[in-house]
Amino acid sequence: MSPPHRSGLLQSEQEWDARNRVLSETLTSLIAENAPEGARRALDIGCQTGVTTDRYASLTGLDWEGVDPVIAEPKKSPGGLSLFPGASDRLDFPDGRFDVAMLANVYEHVFPERRVASFEEIRRVLAPGGVVVGQIPNPYFPIESHSRLPFMGWLPIRAQKVYWKLSPVTWEHDFFVVTPRHLRRDAGAGGLTATMVRKFNYPPEVIPARFRRVARALERPMRVMPWAWQFVLRPSR
């Protein structure tokens, strides 16, 4: 969840902070509703700098750790949480260490050939009764969330990479088109069952100000074509 850069198509710092606040609050509400009784430890997979991990910790009271492939060596989050090098299919923790795993806007970045192995690895580090909570963006949303370009997710990968050159963002193309169907399939093959998938839309205050009127006009269609989906996974065996 990289911070935005200044552009009329991207969130301001205030809008980005509001976006991360809403994301943290809604996902931690799923933890409160679904985590096993007495849950203590939680893992944020794809934690980046750990800013959002700190938010999860303040909202849940759990002991959080984070992993991300962009981390070169162990370090601390701004709030003092332990962050480690790692990836969804490479978690250097003992079996059954965590009661909760967070997979927020990460699954769409995992290479297809590594997805099942990722869910197997997440399943391995879950304690009995543990849960995975997360979110995936809708790749078919009219404005694709990674590139901020119209209909990016409807194109084949090769065309996406050409179209990406028009994007206002500074990062490279780094996502795959995934939906709840892919999530259920890959999680199932990795030993996890999707017990809840819900449509999710951010409120207007996280959208760049110049587009909020359009967003409000689209509130009803977005009930059918949501911005994202949030989910809960549980071990199936």
- Residue pLDDT, tens place only, 165-176: 999 888 899 999
Residue 27: pLDDT above 60?
yes
pTM: 0.88
* Residue that has been written with the tokens 């990722």 in this structure: 118
CA 166 – CA 147 distance, rounded (Å): 9
Considering the domain 13-139+177-235, what is its CATH architecture?
Answer: 3-Layer(aba) Sandwich (3.40)
Of residues 134, 121, 132, 122, the one with CA closest to residue 39: 132
Give 8's pLDDT tier (boundaries 50, 70, 90). Answer: very low
Tokens (6 digits) for 43: 């893992």
Domains of the chain, residue spans: 13-139+177-235, 141-174
Tokens (6 digits) for 185: 């399939």
At 9 the three-state DSSP class reads coil
Give 101's pLDDT tier (boundaries 50, 70, 90). Answer: very high
Strand order in the sheet with 75-76: 75-76, 82-85, 63-68, 41-45, 98-104, 126-137, 228-235, 192-200
CA 80 – CA 202 distance, rounded (Å): 29
At 4 the three-state DSSP class reads coil
